[in-house]
Structure 1
Amino acid sequence: MMGVFDVPARFLMETVSKDLKEKKTVIAPDFAPFVKTGAQADRAPQDPDWYYVRCASILYRILKEGPLGTESLRSYYGGRKNRGTKPHRHYKAGGKIIRLALQQLEKSGLVKKGEKGGRTISPKGQKYLNDMSRVASEAAKGYVKKVRVYKKASKADSEIRDALRRGKKEGEGKHDDAKNKKKKEGSE
């Protein structure tokens, strides 16, 4: 069985945000196309469906980190403000957007109020995210995580490196023999 954490988060967020929009589980407020996400932002988001992506992200974070309130989510979604020549400073995200998203997710039954404050994922929300992870796993099948492959150093390269190290300790000019040796190997 495919779980929420078995799928790359990018694919899960895309799937959940599309589903939230299509089923009208959450409805973007009228001011969403015009508002910035916080005081640190220069402009409103470019993506017209950014509100649904934010709701999906909030739902995922509540699942991942347990009971979360508006203030902790504001800190998470905040960012650094460009203050010109003054040093950068972290600003919190706007609270209205997060508060409205939490209220809509709670109204739809995906999250519930926690015993000690904040919001936690409800059983319905857990089932919803598990179902969406199965759908997202289909989209992620062609996804291959890029892995860096390092070229194994040749013997000439390691000799040059060793000669350079010795040259720094003993004096200059010791690495010329290793360079000439590599040139000879390359021309053969």
Structure 2
Amino acid sequence: MDIVDRGSVKDVDQQQFTAAFSEFLKKTGKLDVPSGNWADIIKLGIHKQMAPVDPDWYYTRCASMARFLYLRRTGVGAFTRVYGGLKHKGVRPSHFQRGSRSVVRKCLQSLEKAKIIEKHASGGRVLSTLGRRNMDTIAKQVAEKLARQAQQQQQQQ
């Protein structure tokens, strides 16, 4: 199975791609992270009890949203459903709650400023050609890394 020939985000593991693309976003410095104390104390939804533990959560969320936009055109409302979860209500039954609209908007605005996504004429956001090219490049690097690791494991056995 030759994974290296494929250069698409759909062909690699989503967790490894998201981690690699978030590192890319952090290294390039093009992503505009909201300043101040906002990013340190915000909750990612009403269903969450604490703020994110990872200090680079913003880059990870933006990378995840960019990957989702690679697959389909969506807007803020759809992202709130994607990043929602169950709100625990003690002894009462849990219910689904949507994610934070503010975080979704800020991430989309940052990705737009970095020219990775753009607004679609009929609503929602879509990946730009630059964003698609960057994501395909990162996906190919992740696929090559996985292929090298698989070769090394076969050689060790």
TM beyond 0.5: yes
How many pairs were matched up? 142
The aligned runs of 1:142-153 (5 Å cut-off) are 142=149
Question: Which sections of structure 1, spanning at least 5 residues, go unmatched?
Answer: 144-188
How far off its partner does 1:115 sit? 1.6
Q: Write the distance in 1 (CA, Å) between the matches of 2:30 and 2:65.
A: 14
The structure with higher relative contact order (CA 8 Å, sep 6+) is: 2
Relative to its length, the structure with more strand (as a share) is: 2
Say yes or no: does 1:23 pair with 2:28.
yes
- Alignment partner, residue 86 of structure 2: 80
Q: Write the distance in 1 (CA, Å) between the matches of 2:59 and 2:145.
A: 19
- Alignment partner, residue 39 of structure 2: 32
User: Does the CA contact (< 8 Å) of 1:26 and 1:105 recur in 2?
Assistant: yes
Partner of residue 133 from structure 1, selected from 132, 139, 148: 139
Partner of residue 123 from structure 1, selected from 109, 129, 138: 129
Query: For residues 114-148 of structure 1, what are the alpha-carbon distances to aligned partners after superposition, in whole Å with 9 as ceiling and x for unaligned?
Result: 121000111111111101112222332336xxxxx
The aligned runs of 1:6-85 (5 Å cut-off) are 6-29=11-34, 30=36, 31-65=38-72, 67-85=73-91
TM-score by length of 2: 0.85
TM-score by length of 1: 0.72
How far off its partner does 1:79 sit? 0.4
Q: Write the distance in 1 (CA, Å) between the matches of 2:31 and 2:124.
A: 19
Identical positions, percent = 30
Question: Which sections of structure 2, spanning at least 5 residues, go unmatched?
Answer: 151-157
User: Does the CA contact (< 8 Å) of 2:74 and 2:125 recur in 1?
Assistant: yes
User: Does the CA contact (< 8 Å) of 2:12 and 2:142 recur in 1?
Assistant: yes
